[in-house]
Structure 1
Amino acid sequence: MKQRYERRHSRWYEQVLLGLPFQLVVGLAVVVGLPSLERWGWEFWHYLPSVRTNTILACVLSFLAILFTLRRMNRFPGAQVSAYIGPTVSVVYLVAVAVLFFTREEYTRQVLFTSFLASLAWFYLAYFLGRRYRRLKLAVVPVGRAETLEATPHIELRALEEPDMDGVRYDGIVADLHADTLSAEWEKFLARCTLNHIPVYHVRQIQEAMIGRVQIKHLTENEYGSLLPSLSYQGVKRCIDLIAALILLPILVPVMLATALAIRLDSPGPALFIQQRMGFRGVPFKVYKFRSMYVDQKGRGFTEGEDDPRITRAGRFIRKCRLDELPQLFNVLKGEMSFIGPRPESMELSDWYERDVPFFSYRHVVRPGISGWAQVEQGYAAEVDGMTTKLQYDFYYIKHFSLWLDVLIAFKTLKTIVTGDGAR
């Protein structure tokens, strides 16, 4: 008789309590139903004028946007969703209020505010109650590269001693499917797992999920199609960039004027630093930044960390707060850059990396960004070895090119700006 294995969280009551339908039904009842009942009473649905309809619709759409955004962000390594619940809920409800205000639609502020508080409570409670069950539990076939995997706070790994699950339920099985030493017994075991609806992952998939990087030692490890960013999202992303830049520019003009004045008072030279860099699809462009270094001192062509003696007093501050990047709003308006994407390198460094780093030019398949996945995860890299790791992060961004990853990078960037800590 064939041995039957059972996947973790596969029982009906587990699927009900942990599944999306339960979160939707109960969550909507808490976030939309309770505030409506408190304001309008038990029979509020019998009479729905536009003010009530608009308010309820805003609450429903806000809840759905928050739920799917947090679920999507949780798929990426190092997401730390608990840190982004508050900002996500706040941003979504602010957008809802802004839409209602500018379209001059009537709504009830009390219900919307109560729904906002209920959303905060619901998503924090759901996170802390369910974080134990959200941590993936994976069984590892101890053959080939799979043996080198190490557990993370988000993924639990257990090495199997023999081709059997020994009564333990797992979310999936990890194996090096290309290993020459994978025996017939292990292959039969993996086949049985698949027949019992337990997913079998190649070690490369799990490595990417753990470290947020795509291996690039051999391009054959990645299909070209998997590294081709979505053309439809590129168009949507360009619209988002343009609208956001037009909104932010008048708000940030006073900050930019104050920054330019501080630079001019601190050291002689222009306030702006303009440099030729490699851009989208390999087309060079001029990037605008506030000058953070003395104009009469030469270096190696790249910044040598925060202790670089060429950095001025004002420059040290504006670099820490990322104020030096503000003029790149004009690059975004011109379509040369995006808010989120791989950082553009100078022409000198690009030529160097092209010679020494395989596949470097492929990172130009998307628009360069003011901030990016490599910057929030790794920080600044100048040497070739560091650039190889940075390129792995860039490839991960291109492979997972999406709104959800951009939102996560935006939150991580804002956290770094506000706290002054994080990857540089």
Structure 2
Amino acid sequence: MQRLLDIVFSGLALLVLSPLLVPIALALRLTGEGEVFFIQQRVGRGGQPFGLYKFATMLKNSPNLGTGTVTVKNDPRVLPLGRFLRKTKINELPQLLNIFKGDMSIIGPRPQTQRCFDAFPARSQAEIIKVRPGLSGIGSIVFRDEEELMHASKEPERFYDEVIMPYKGALEEWYVAHQGLWTYLAAIFVTAWVVLFPESRLAWRVFPQLPAVPPELAGAV
């Protein structure tokens, strides 16, 4: 049922959003470095890599510059138009193509680069690869301001590896254990809600049994 809904929802979304997606593609072609899409290898279901589509928001050589595949607040590698696309999450919309193809689902653990996937605890890794990665999911709903959290740390990469990823892994494990049609539809609704109301705590009311927030993140997620 979830796969059928993925096909229907992603197909309709691509059709409805085409008046937005086409002008953005043209704007990217005419600005920055002239790239429209950024295709990055991510870890998918079964641990198999796949090419994830995004609108290009950063310098072409970004993975080999600065913090690599980890993006921090005010990252100098992000292009001017890219800042708007990242802030509004519009840069993620080309992943509707990944969903339609079957690489991803609308809801699931966010697909990670190999470097970021390796930062998950081993138990989390084993659970995450049991399902299709998602355009949104419990981890991305809770960590919608991840770059802001890292910016507040004196050692952002250490904070990412030792605090953010272990807790995000626990959230993704929770999703795998509780996946089903209700969780799928509820997560879609909560995703839309927090995009409109970023300070909302709705996720904690809809999913009251989420893993407890660690002390280092108290008040921040």
TM-score, L = length of structure 2: 0.76
Deviations 1:103-128 (A, max 9, x none): xxxxxxxxxxxxxxxxxxxxxxxxxx
**In the alignment, which of 13, 16, 20 is matched to residue 251 of structure 1?**
16
User: What's the offset of the Cα at 1:361?
Assistant: 2.9
**Per the alignment, do residues 418 and 264 of structure 1 end up closer, same or farther by CA in structure 2, a change over 3 Å counting?**
farther
**In the alignment, which of 99, 111, 133 is matched to residue 332 of structure 1?**
99
Q: Say whether 1:278 aligns with 2:56.
A: no
**Per the alignment, do residues 419 and 262 of structure 1 end up closer, same or farther by CA in structure 2, a change over 3 Å counting?**
farther
User: What's the offset of the Cα at 1:312?
Assistant: 1.5
- Structure 1 gaps, min length 5: 1-235
User: What's the offset of the Cα at 1:266?
Assistant: 3.2
2:119–2:161 CA contact under 8 A, matched in 1: no
Q: 5 Å matches for 1:105-254?
A: 236-254=1-19
1:266–1:313 CA contact under 8 A, matched in 2: no
**In the alignment, which of 89, 95, 118 is matched to residue 322 of structure 1?**
89
Q: Which residue of structure 2 aligns with residue 371 of structure 1?
A: 136
Matched residue SS, 1:387 = helix
Q: Which residue of structure 1 aligns with residue 153 of structure 2?
A: none
Specify the code of the residue in structure 1 equivalent to 2:75. D
Q: Say whether 1:358 aligns with 2:122.
A: yes
Which deviates further from its counterpart, 375-384 or 400-409?
375-384
- Structure 2 gaps, min length 5: 148-159, 201-219
Matched residue SS, 1:288 = strand
Specify the code of the residue in structure 1 equivalent to 2:51. K
Larger radius of gyration: 1
User: What's the offset of the Cα at 1:375?
Assistant: 1.0
Matched residue SS, 1:306 = coil
Specify the code of the residue in structure 1 equivalent to 2:133. P
**Per the alignment, do residues 303 and 421 of structure 1 end up closer, same or farther by CA in structure 2, a change over 3 Å counting?**
farther
Residue identity (%): 34
User: What's the offset of the Cα at 1:420?
Assistant: 5.4
What is the rounded CA distance, in whole Å, between the counterparts of 2:119 and 2:59 in structure 1?
A: 26
Higher relative CO (Cα under 8 Å, sequence separation at least 6) belongs to 2
Q: Which residue of structure 2 aligns with residue 164 of structure 1?
A: none
What is the rounded CA distance, in whole Å, between the counterparts of 2:122 and 2:115 in structure 1?
A: 17
Deviations 1:87-112 (A, max 9, x none): xxxxxxxxxxxxxxxxxxxxxxxxxx
What is the rounded CA distance, in whole Å, between the counterparts of 2:194 and 2:36 in structure 1?
A: 24
Quote the RMSD (CA, aligned, Å): 2.1
Deviations 1:210-244 (A, max 9, x none): xxxxxxxxxxxxxxxxxxxxxxxxxx100110111
What is the rounded CA distance, in whole Å, between the counterparts of 2:56 and 2:171 in structure 1?
A: 27
1:280–1:368 CA contact under 8 A, matched in 2: yes
Matched residue SS, 2:39 = strand
